[in-house]
Structure 1
Amino acid sequence: MTVLDQIDTIVIVMMENRSFDHALGYLSLNGGQVNGLSADPTWQANFINEYNGKQYPIHPLSPNGPPISDPPHDRGPIATQISAPCTAGGCPELGGFVQSYATRTPAPSNLADVMGYYDASTVPTFDFLAKHFTVCDNWFAPLPSGTQANRLMAMAGESRISDNVHGLSFLPDQPLVYDWLRQRGIPWCVYQSGSFFPFFSLMKEWLPEILLSLTLPLDEAGGNFRRYSRFQDDWQGNGILPKVIFIEPEYTDGPHNTANDDHCPTGMAGGQAFIADIYRTLISNPVRWKETLLVVTYDEHGGFFDHVPPLDIAVDIGGYSFKTTGLRVPAFLVSPYVTPGSVFSGKLDHTAVLQMLAEKFDSHNVYSTAVSARSAQLDRLSSALSGQPATQPAPTLAGAPMHAAAAAFKGAVQAGVSDTSQGFHNVALQVARDHPQLLTSPQWTGLAQYLSTYGKH
């Protein structure tokens, strides 16, 4: 029996747009095991970014600082971030973060923000998880590109687009892990935070099932797409739950009330509270918890500095030839089946989760040809697990402090803010055209309010 045989439920959470060094690099400043930041001034000087005659060093960010303007993080800006040299005498690459940020329209409030990092006071939930579970410090976004292509890689192992789809367009239809699991008879579901849409409402073929599932009353047995507000009752109940559970935050780029995905200008506090709530729910049912693995990661680095170059993994995506992965992102394995306070430094990207699902649910340990080809150049996520589960009760996570200035950004999100927000706006318009009855449903009051404000844009 393998360790995966002993795990009954795999829970997967993917947040938005932060790099490893930006969110977790502080863990090594006082001698921690992770491959993060160094307190050595000579080491830090190697990565100074220079722009317009001014130098921008690595520096701590205040937990009470103003919201950070969203850095560019599409394919073109990321190429600049990765390939431009640092200041003279420094690193020959990874010097273009500030240069890329300066191209933002409107101009960012503070160019230095992309070189900043947080500490435990801003990411208390992550600090707790690092102390008690496993940090993966060599986990990369699959592609040096934006949100949409990387989330497709995470949920399919391949992508039909190489960059974000522009304008009021849906993503091209392609098979997802939902299809893969369904074909094998593996129960799965998605819990969506907030009152709007999960990510793959952006793919038109999934929209009917998503709308049908999310319109079910909260006290009725759910379909494959469910509101996160019912997760605790489902988890603590005696009913049979799916083997694979995806939990999605409320997206800053979507029509939102209280975004908690960490996508700038949303601060980190909402996401820390969200992940803390997921963890507390999981351990609230000790019987389920003892057979559970929670995977937490981010879709891509969001334009923030990281000191580790991408992996040399080439792939043709959507007619474009990528030579490397994207940059590192924060990642955790949370389970009784990991060594407390450990670091896993094997080479990973999002497709490692798909490979792990194949090892558990496919008789040939194969997800797809594309994932197998990529897995040959990566390490196995399953090798980070321990065959001997913890025998002590799960550690208790105290309430995460909420810094007012870092709380979830509550601004107007409308068509034109970003490619993904335009996509969600398109979803809202499509729902209004095809399913106007939903606008009077109590499950979709937020959608009606959003459309009354932005429906004409």
Structure 2
Amino acid sequence: MTKLLFDHFVVLMLENRSFDHLFGYLGIGDGLSKKGGVNYLKPGDTSSGTFKSSKGGDYTAIGQGPSHSLKQTNEQLFGVTKPSAAVAAATPPLNGFVASFKTSLAYDLKREPTTSELQQVMNAFDPVQLPVLSTLAKNFVLCDRWFADVPGPTMPNRAYVHAATSQGYTYNADWKPKFNCKTLYDRINADPSRSWRSYYHDQDDILELYPYLQKNETNHVPFEGNFVSDVAGDKLATYSFITPAFINSPQHPTNSMHAPADVRPAEKLVADVYGALRSQPAVWKKTLLIIVFDEHGGYFDHVPPPATVSPDGIDGTADPSFLVPFDFKRLGLRVPAILISPWFKPGVDSTVYSHSTIPGSIIDALQLPGGFLTKRDANAAKLTAKYLVDDGTHTWRTTTPDVAAPVQPQPLDPMAREVLNGTVHLDPHPEQRNPLRTQDIQDPAQAKQFMKTQIAKHLEHYFASKGRPKTAAQQSTQNQYASTSVSPSRIAELKASSGPRKREEHP
């Protein structure tokens, strides 16, 4: 049997971020160029309002964040929600992210979103904002052509990492599907020398979706109190899957990165998993850690997804009626993925992978009984030869980076929430005095920035209008966004403005 570098494989699947959204400005891999990406308010219409990718991501999202249903992902890719067969087969122009976000955000906020709110879908994080993921991406193997298996939401994409099919599901279906297909865990069960374990926080994909899977008392355990002790005791299973927390509480915040939640608790989870392995050299030397995201979450990415093979010939379900047709012959958008082991030199891998690469590679490397699960994992590019086989070309690195999770957000207390909401009414534009604008702000630092911006904006309009509220309500700037300090140049531009506002300039 082929000798492998690893006895243990650990997969942490986070949520809903595109490659460009997290790593577009990382400086390695196929990220955003100096020109960046561009979308227009109406797909392809250059006169409808321009939105360019911008360095500086938003820790929390406005509303519920961008939509990522199949229907809305179609609009993000092709500019229409129901592309014809010819359009769907062509290279997507990736021109509908802002238009899609406008639809979902108007529904969430119960009002028309402002320009600066719509800009969120095009923003990309500065590497300093994500110190953990950025450090790991630069020091291990960053995959810049890893795609979701479905151009849609969470559940079907998570099904592919477990079973290389979603059996026709393109939507979450309230997590009710009871799949009867074989999974990676069935293949592992068939080899008595192998084992698997699911570490959950509050949801367990495997338990919910695969009721016919045989399991024992060791297969499903809470992450807290078990993962670190399993690593410390050299008791990791052959294959471990970690599901993050989806429910928020002061003691255990959402750490999945699923919008609109703050991204920093997910950074801490990654740091905790990496730190646990790194602190145990004997285990670290025989363990591969894969960090990957289930789907793009509706955020902009500039790389068109490629065609692929249907896993099992099952077309997308057409019930309920709001679903749109899909044949599973194209992949979803690019997502961040990092292969972490000191056996690997830092680098970028531009091989086209998808989530099905994971079960396909594990089955291939371990030669598990029963073979591949579907045509999707059988045809997916494998990690085996390049990363998993001990062929004598890999050298162990004795130095690996320390990572420190960023300061974690603290929830607002009732008094802080009341004060924050009060600053909404300082807005010089009456239609913006809506408390819905602050309902998604959970972090004190973000609250402070919002409040300072509201005060500065109020004063600028006051000075520019000489204290006349009706005049202030009609003033706007075309060239400068509101910021946390009073700007003389903004006051001058406000004085010069007249008539209906051409662009909202709200924080």
Shorter-normalised TM-score: what interval? 0.7 to 0.9
SS at match of 1:202: helix
**Quick check: 2:164–2:377 contact (8 Å CA) kept in 1?**
no
In structure 1, what residue type is equivalent to 2:400? P
**Quick check: 1:148–1:165 contact (8 Å CA) kept in 2?**
yes
Identity %: 29
**Quick check: 1:9–1:292 contact (8 Å CA) kept in 2?**
yes
Inter-CA distance 304–171: structure 2 relative to 1 (3 Å threshold): farther
State the shift of 1:62 in Å. Answer: 4.6
Q: Within 2, Cα distance between the matches of 1:205 and 1:294? A: 27
Q: Within 1, Cα distance between the matches of 2:250 and 2:353? A: 32
Query: After superposition, what is the alpha-carbon deviation per residue over 1:106-126, rounded to whole angstroms, capped at 9, x for unaligned?
Result: 146721111110022221111
State the shift of 1:67 in Å. Answer: 5.2
The answer to whether the aligner puts 1:244 opposite 2:244 as a matched pair is no
Q: Within 2, Cα distance between the matches of 1:112 and 1:207? A: 44
Inter-CA distance 314–206: structure 2 relative to 1 (3 Å threshold): closer
**Quick check: 2:148–2:333 contact (8 Å CA) kept in 1?**
yes
SS at match of 1:37: coil
**Quick check: 1:63–1:121 contact (8 Å CA) kept in 2?**
no
State the shift of 1:200 in Å. Answer: 2.9
Q: Within 2, Cα distance between the matches of 1:398 and 1:372? A: 33
The answer to whether the aligner puts 1:50 opposite 2:52 as a matched pair is no
Query: After superposition, what is the alpha-carbon deviation per residue over 1:213-247, rounded to whole angstroms, capped at 9, x for unaligned?
Result: 4xxxxxxxxx1111112211121115x43111111
The residue aligned with 2:495 is none
Q: Within 1, Cα distance between the matches of 2:383 and 2:354? A: 10
In structure 2, what residue type is equivalent to 1:97? F
State the shift of 1:84 in Å. Answer: 2.0
The residue aligned with 1:128 is 135
**Quick check: 1:189–1:246 contact (8 Å CA) kept in 2?**
yes
Query: After superposition, what is the alpha-carbon deviation per residue over 1:175-202, rounded to whole angstroms, capped at 9, x for unaligned?
Result: 3222221122221101123xx2312343
State the shift of 1:322 in Å. Answer: 2.8
The residue aligned with 2:20 is 21
Inter-CA distance 190–236: structure 2 relative to 1 (3 Å threshold): same
Query: After superposition, what is the alpha-carbon deviation per residue over 1:414-447, rounded to whole angstroms, capped at 9, x for unaligned?
Result: xxxxxxxxxxxxxxxxxxxxxxxxxxxxxxxxxx
State the shift of 1:336 in Å. Answer: 2.2
Choose which of 74, 77, 83 in structure 1 pairs with 2:78: 83
State the shift of 1:263 in Å. Answer: 0.1
Inter-CA distance 322–371: structure 2 relative to 1 (3 Å threshold): closer
In structure 2, what residue type is equivalent to 1:93? P
The answer to whether the aligner puts 1:106 opposite 2:108 as a matched pair is yes
Q: Within 2, Cα distance between the matches of 1:323 and 1:16? A: 23
Q: Within 1, Cα distance between the matches of 2:377 and 2:61? A: 44
Choose which of 331, 335, 342 in structure 2 pairs with 1:336: 342
The residue aligned with 2:327 is 321
In structure 2, what residue type is equivalent to 1:344? D
State the shift of 1:314 in Å. Answer: 4.0
State the shift of 1:391 in Å. Answer: 3.4
Q: Within 2, Cα distance between the matches of 1:327 and 1:36? A: 14
Q: Within 2, Cα distance between the matches of 1:92 and 1:149? A: 21
SS at match of 2:76: helix
State the shift of 1:207 in Å. Answer: 9.8
The answer to whether the aligner puts 1:175 opposite 2:182 as a matched pair is yes
Question: Normalising by structure 2, what TM-score?
Answer: 0.68
**Quick check: 1:67–1:406 contact (8 Å CA) kept in 2?**
no
Inter-CA distance 304–253: structure 2 relative to 1 (3 Å threshold): farther
Query: After superposition, what is the alpha-carbon deviation per residue over 1:137-158, rounded to whole angstroms, capped at 9, x for unaligned?
Result: 0000011122111111111011
The residue aligned with 2:96 is 96
Choose which of 267, 271, 278 in structure 2 pairs with 1:276: 271
State the shift of 1:402 in Å. Answer: 2.1
**Quick check: 2:372–2:378 contact (8 Å CA) kept in 1?**
no
The residue aligned with 2:365 is 360
Choose which of 224, 228, 232 in structure 1 pairs with 2:228: 232
State the shift of 1:77 in Å. Answer: 0.6
Q: Within 1, Cα distance between the matches of 2:63 and 2:129? A: 14
The answer to whether the aligner puts 1:383 opposite 2:389 as a matched pair is no
The answer to whether the aligner puts 1:158 opposite 2:165 as a matched pair is yes
The residue aligned with 2:444 is none
**Quick check: 2:344–2:394 contact (8 Å CA) kept in 1?**
yes
Inter-CA distance 394–9: structure 2 relative to 1 (3 Å threshold): farther
**Quick check: 2:308–2:330 contact (8 Å CA) kept in 1?**
yes
Work out the number of aligned pairs and report it: 377
**Quick check: 2:76–2:95 contact (8 Å CA) kept in 1?**
yes
Question: Normalising by structure 1, what TM-score?
Answer: 0.74
Greater C-alpha Rg:
2
Provide structure 2 residue ranges, at least 5 long, that are not aligned to the other structure.
81-90, 317-325, 413-507
SS at match of 2:334: coil
Provide structure 1 residue ranges, at least 5 long, that are not aligned to the other structure.
86-90, 214-222, 408-457
